Amino acid sequence: MGVSVTARALGAALAAIVGADGATDDPRACAAAAIDDRRPQWVVRPRALEEAARVVALAHDEGLAVVPRGRGTALALGAPPTRADVVLDLSGLDRILEYHPDDLTVTVQAGVTAGALAAVLGERRQTLPLDPPGWSERTLGGIAATAASGPLRARYGTIRDLLLGVRFVQADGVVTWGGARVVKSVTGYDVPKLLVGSLGTLGVLGELTLRLHPLPEAEATCLVPLRDVAAAQELTARLVDSTLQPSRLERRRCAPSRRRSAPRRRASGRAWRRWAPPSGARTTGCWWPPAARCSG
């Protein structure tokens, strides 16, 4: 931009970019957006990547510190900021830009939540296999910036493995593209992987192109009683050689008190009970003998 503005006019300059309702210096809004007790002077909520780029360019020219923010679910990560002049709220960038079911790719803005994307992909029996804690309410830009993941990483990898391309804003406000929009590509530097986990320090994520996977026809979670480690090893080997496609295997130790209190029955008379999955879990349920259930 190149034109200096006074501190008094800075709020007006921000409002000119994002609209009067997109920039605020209200004390309550700034207090709610504070990071490690660093209260910003302004909270700015762009509705387009171009607006976000102009805000970053203005901040660069005026020497202001910009802190990108999604839903604010991982603010404890990283070193506390020494300054936070402008909090750039990216939750308004919530559009799904391109979806190609046949290619298993989707391009979204950084403010799209994983839950909103899952609702769209579910209609075509496809999924973005990311399940960090609270995944449905977290923005995809935030998941990428924090490298958040959950148990599904054991089979599908993390967002670092699913991120094909990114459009991001550099510190001077220049919008840059890195990566590709297709699954197989060897062109250029792998910029997307560099940005994963960078916590916004290398640029402001604006758009992400992601690799999808088909939903399994059926999915179940099972708890299997085993005698010892050798039996667990044998079960693992058989699963690997079977037609099943396990997402993960976890070895858990049953509480001794629970095992002692369980009723003893003959194998032929063992009572099996149905396992109830957690609310919202993508499982069909499983069966286990009462004496085998583990605690916690």
pLDDT for position 5:
52
- In the chain, CATH 3.30.43.10 sits at 7-91
- CATH 3.30.465.10 residue ranges of the chain are 93-214
Q: Domain 93-214 falls in which CATH fold?
A: 3.30.465
d(CA 28, CA 6): 23
Report pTM: 0.79
Output the pLDDT for position 168. Answer: 97
Write down the pLDDT at residue 213.
96
DSSP 169-210: E-TTS-EEEEE-SSSS---S--HHHHHTT-TTSS-EEEEEEE
Four-way CATH pick for 7-91: 3.30.43.10, 3.30.465.10, 3.20.20.70, 3.40.47.10: 3.30.43.10
Radius of gyration of the chain (CA): 24
Give me the pLDDT at residue 244, please: 85
pLDDT in tens, the chain (296 residues): 444 457 668 999 999 999 999 999 999 999 999 999 899 999 999 999 999 999 999 999 999 999 999 999 998 888 888 999 999 999 999 999 999 999 999 999 999 999 999 999 999 999 999 999 999 999 999 999 999 999 999 899 999 999 999 999 999 999 999 987 766 665 667 899 999 999 999 999 999 999 999 998 888 888 888 888 899 899 889 988 988 888 888 887 766 544 444 444 444 344 444 444 444 444 444 444 433 333 33
CA distance 93 to 100: 20
